[in-house]
Amino acid sequence: MSSFILFLSLIFVSANTSAKELIVWGVPKDRGLMAALRLFEAEHPGWQVVTSAGSSGSMDPQKLMCGIAGGRPPDMLQQDRFAVGEWAVREAFLPLDEFITESLQEEAWAVDAAAALREGRDSEAVESWQKLETRLADRGPSRALRTTHELIRTGASGSLAAALIPLADELADLVQGVHPDRFFDACWQEASFGPGDARRVYAIPNSTDNRALYYNEDLLERAGFVDAAGKVQPPRNWRELKEYAVKLSEHDVDGNMTRLGFAPNFGNSWLYIYGWLNGGQFMSDDGQTCTLDDPGIEKALSYMVEIYDALGGIEQVDAFQSGFQQGEFDPFFTGKVAMKVDGNWTLNRIADFAPGLRFGVIPAPAPEGRESITWSGGFSWALPAGSEHSEIAFELMRFLSTDRVWRVRNEVLARYAASRGRNFVPGMAPLPHVNEQTYALLMRDNRELPKRIKEGFLLFADLMRVSRFRPVTPVGQLLWDEHVRAYEKAVRHTYSPKEALARGQRQVQAELDRIYAKVAHTKVNWNYPLVGSLALVLTGLCFAFWRGGPDLRRRLRRSETWAGFAFVSPWLIGLLLLTAGPILTSIVYSFCRYDVLHPAEFVGLDNYVRLFGDDPLFWKSLGNTAFMMLGVPLGMAVGLAIAMLLNTEVRGMRVYRTVFYLPAIVPMVASAILWIWVLNPEMGLVNSLLRMAGVADPPNWLQSASWLFGSKSAIILMGLWSAGSGMIIWLAGLKGIPQHLYEAAEIDGASPWLRFWHVTLPMLSPYIFFNLIMGIIGTMQVFTQAYIMTKGGPDDSTMFYAYYLFNNAFRYFKMGYASALAWILFLIILVLTLIQLKLSPRWVHYENEG
Q: Comparing 377 with 518, which gets the higher pLDDT?
A: 377
Q: Which helix (H) or strand (E) holds 717?
A: helix 711-721
Q: What confidence tens digit (pLDDT) does each residue in 21-52 have?
A: 999 999 888 899 999 999 999 999 999 999 98
532 with 638, same domain: the answer is: no
> If DSSP states are collapsed to H, E and C, what string results for 485-511?
HHHHHHHCCCCCHHHHHHHHHHHHHHH
166 with 284, same domain: the answer is: no
Residue 809 lies in a domain: yes
Q: Given pLDDT bands bounded at 50, 70 and 90, which one contains residue 162?
A: low
Separation between Cα atoms, residue 393 and residue 70, nearest integer Å: 20
Residue 4 pLDDT: 43
Residue 279 lies in a domain: yes
Q: What confidence tens digit (pLDDT) does each residue in 202-236 have?
A: 999 999 999 999 999 999 999 999 999 999 999 99
Q: Given pLDDT bands bounded at 50, 70 and 90, which one contains residue 15?
A: very low
The CA dihedral of 179, 182, 185, 190, to the nearest 10 degrees, is -40
Cα 757 to Cα 364, 633, 763, 771, distances in angstroms: 67, 16, 10, 18
- Number of structural domains in the chain: 4
Q: What confidence tens digit (pLDDT) does each residue in 378-425 have?
A: 999 999 999 999 999 999 999 999 999 999 999 999 999 999 999 999
Residue 641 pLDDT: 92
Mean of the per-residue pLDDT values of the chain: 90
**In 10 A of CB 485, how many CB atoms?**
22
Residue 15 lies in a domain: no
Beta bridge partners of 192: 201
Residue 10 pLDDT: 45
Say whether pLDDT at 510 is over 80: yes
Residue 8 pLDDT: 43
Separation between Cα atoms, residue 566 and residue 191, nearest integer Å: 56
Output the domain CATH number for residue 805.
Answer: 1.10.3720.10
Are the C-beta atoms of residues 39 and 144 closer than 8 Å to each other? no
664 with 713, same domain: the answer is: yes
Residues in Cβ contact with 698 at an 8 Å cutoff, skipping those fewer than 6 apart: 681, 686, 687, 690, 691
Residues in Cβ contact with 281 at an 8 Å cutoff, skipping those fewer than 6 apart: 275, 291, 294, 296, 297
Separation between Cα atoms, residue 761 and residue 351, nearest integer Å: 65
65-102 exposure pattern, b = at least 16 Cβ within 10 A, e = fewer: bebbbeeebbbbbbbbbbbbbbbbbbebbbbbeebbeb
Residue 335 lies in a domain: yes
Among 201, 665, 239, 244, CA closest to 398: 201
Q: What confidence tens digit (pLDDT) does each residue in 417-462 have?
A: 999 999 999 999 999 999 999 999 999 999 999 999 999 999 999 9
Output the domain CATH number for residue 267.
Answer: 3.40.190.10
Which residue intervals of 517-558 are DSSP H helices? 527-556
Residue 5 pLDDT: 46
666 with 815, same domain: the answer is: yes
Among residues 167, 184, 201, the one where a domain terminates is 184
Separation between Cα atoms, residue 303 and residue 239, nearest integer Å: 10
Are the C-beta atoms of residues 304 and 399 closer than 8 Å to each other? no
Residue 429 lies in a domain: no
Residue 88 lies in a domain: no
Q: What confidence tens digit (pLDDT) does each residue in 86-129 have?
A: 999 889 999 999 999 999 999 999 999 999 888 888 888 889 99
Written as one string, the DSSP assignment of 242-299 is HHHHHHH-EE-TTS-EEEB---TTSBS-HHHHHHHHTT--SB-TTSSSB-TT-HHHHH
pTM over 0.85: yes
531 with 625, same domain: the answer is: no
711 with 657, same domain: the answer is: yes
Q: Which helix (H) or strand (E) holds 340?
A: strand 339-343
534 with 657, same domain: the answer is: no
Q: What confidence tens digit (pLDDT) does each residue in 599-617 have?
A: 999 999 999 999 999 899 9
Are the C-beta atoms of residues 478 and 507 closer than 8 Å to each other? yes
294 with 357, same domain: the answer is: yes
130 with 222, same domain: the answer is: no
Residue 349 lies in a domain: yes
Q: What confidence tens digit (pLDDT) does each residue in 469-489 have?
A: 999 999 999 999 999 999 999
Q: Given pLDDT bands bounded at 50, 70 and 90, which one contains residue 72?
A: very high
Among residues 342, 376, 410, the one where a domain terminates is 376
Which residue intervals of 781-814 are DSSP H helices? 784-785, 801-810
Residue 539 lies in a domain: yes
Phi-psi domain of 604 (left: phi exceeds 0; alpha: psi -120 through 50; beta: other): left
Domain range for residue 584?
A: 522-592
Q: Residues of the chain with pLDDT > 70: what percent?
A: 95
621 with 586, same domain: the answer is: no
Are the C-beta atoms of residues 77 and 369 closer than 8 Å to each other? no
CA-based R_g, the chain, Å: 33
Rounded-to-5 percentages of helix, strand, coil across the chain: 60, 10, 30
583 with 636, same domain: the answer is: no
Among residues 556, 577, 592, the one where a domain terminates is 592
338-371 exposure pattern, b = at least 16 Cβ within 10 A, e = fewer: bbbbbbbebbbbbbbebeebebbbbbbbbbeeee
Across the chain, which distance is largest between two alpha carbons, in Å?
Answer: 121
625 with 764, same domain: the answer is: yes
Which amino acid appears at position 779 of this protein? T
Give the CB-side neighbour count of residue 340, counting CA atoms within 13 A: 20
Output the domain CATH number for residue 146.
Answer: 1.20.120
